[in-house]
Amino acid sequence: MRTFKIEKPEEALRPAIQDKIDNLNKPKGSLGVLEELAMQVCLIQQTLTPSLAHPCHLLLGGDHGIEREGVSVSPREVTWQQMINFTRGGGGVNMFCRQHGFKLRIVDVGVDYDFISEKGKVKSEKFATAIIDRKIARGTRNFLHEPAMSEKEFDKAIETGASLVDDCLAEGCRVLCIGEMGIGNTSPSSIWMSHFCDIPLDECIGAGAGLDTPGIRHKREVLSRAVANSKHYTRNATCSILRYFGGFEMIAAIGAMLRAAEQHLIILVDGFIMTACALAVCRLHPEAQSYMVFGHCGDESGHRRMLDAMGAKPLLSLGLRLGEGTGALCAFPILDSAVRMINEMNNFDNASITKYF
């Protein structure tokens, strides 16, 4: 795995930022979370006039070998079908990207489907947005029996995520959002949560895309056996745990977050799966959390507990469980309001208002 140099933002500017926030024409502290966000963004960007220029959204697709064990109510083919739907602008992620001005990049890092023809061109001319081909393999292996990916595949997935961020940086991106599409990916997320937060696995497993009670029971049985079978391989090393259970889209997301933190980008974190990826990032580099804004707490069992374990405060709790990055995108206007507050609100002197505190 490549080495990332991630440092917490410099603190020297904090007093000046706080002074600017406190002198906006409002009661001190009256804009609550917006003031906290403004402070975080100013520190990340090391400026009193922050910007959310050229926001980018990475939609990463990949399939999971564990899906073959019936741990999801949705069949595997839904992954590639939805990926094609995204290219035509018909997904939830498309709607929110359009609404909030995000450039959407749809990336195949491990979908069990051939989007590209033998001539190297996208098969369907109807695709409104091209699928970026970064396929590592057609899905991971079944971690009930063996590691989901090799060390070489793991390293390639990390590098793929990092390189996608470099593409965004080249366009002047200052804020990055990441979403996923991969049937079965709540399963590795639950295992990562259990391992990294030291929470019993049963308490980390939920309904995913909509399992009923017998389905959840079966999922718990399968994942418990998978964890027991993995003991010889994992040996508690963080990268080993990630590689054994993770999906290509999840490891690529980790690579993207690491590179984004290294380059001082704001990272908008979505729901259960992306929070599990953020948790993994913080296990590798705790300093990276300074660059994360947690957009949403979803309905998946354990998500709130995972956020609490990280000391993370999500901006929204809307009962969403779609994935794709939609919860984070919905939270973007709050981040935008915080930046507008510090850039556009008048101060007491300019507004000729008596400062009464």
DSSP characters over 315-331 = SB-------TTHHHHHH
Quick one: tokens of 122? 């996208």
The C-alpha atoms of residue 259 and residue 248 are separated, in whole angstroms, by 16
Which residues are within 8 A (CB) of 336 and not within 5 positions of it... i.e. 6 or more apart? Answer: 52, 100
324 backbone φψ class: left, alpha, beta (φ>0; ψ -120 to 50) = left
How confident is the model at residue 92, as a pLDDT? 94
Pairing of strands 103-110, 266-269: unpaired
Helix axes 238-245, 151-169, angle to 10 degrees: 90
Quick one: tokens of 337? 């309001």
The C-alpha atoms of residue 293 and residue 295 are separated, in whole angstroms, by 6
Tell me what the mean pLDDT of segment 48-75 comes to.
96
- In this structure, are residues 166 and 47 in contact, taking their beta carbons and an 8 Å threshold? no
Quick one: tokens of 240? 């080993």
Catalytic residue (one of 35, 67, 300, 324): 324
Q: How many CB atoms lie within 10 A of CB 311?
A: 7
Share of the chain above pLDDT 70, in %: 95
Lowest mean pLDDT, pick from 251-255, 302-306, 330-334: 302-306
How confident is the model at residue 119, as a pLDDT? 47
Quick one: tokens of 77? 């083919």
**Side-chain half-sphere CA neighbours of 195 within 13 A:** 30
CATH 3.40.50.720 fits 54-332, yes or no: no
Parse the chain into domains and list their residue ranges. Answer: 54-332
The C-alpha atoms of residue 62 and residue 180 are separated, in whole angstroms, by 8
Report the predicted TM-score, pTM, of the whole model to 2 decimal places: 0.94
Q: How confident is the model at residue 123 (pLDDT cuts 50, 70, 90)?
A: low
How confident is the model at residue 118, as a pLDDT? 46
- In this structure, are residues 193 and 199 in contact, taking their beta carbons and an 8 Å threshold? yes
The C-alpha atoms of residue 239 and residue 251 are separated, in whole angstroms, by 10
Q: What does pLDDT average to over the chain?
A: 92
- In this structure, are residues 274 and 306 in contact, taking their beta carbons and an 8 Å threshold? no
How confident is the model at residue 126, as a pLDDT? 54
Q: Is the pLDDT of residue 106 over 90?
A: yes
The C-alpha atoms of residue 15 and residue 291 are separated, in whole angstroms, by 19
How confident is the model at residue 47, as a pLDDT? 98
Q: Is the pLDDT of residue 117 over 60?
A: no
Q: How many CB atoms lie within 10 A of CB 117?
A: 10
Distance of CA 43 to the CA centre of its chain: 21
Quick one: tokens of 115? 């989007």
- 10 has catalytic annotation: no
pLDDT tens for 214-242 read 989 999 999 999 999 998 776 668 999 99
- In this structure, are residues 257 and 104 in contact, taking their beta carbons and an 8 Å threshold? no
End-to-end, the C-alpha distance of the chain in Å comes to 52
Quick check: helix, strand or coil at residue 182?
coil
pLDDT tens for 155-185 read 999 999 999 999 999 999 999 999 999 999 9
**Measuring CA to CA, which residue among 118, 117, 125 is closest to residue 88?**
125
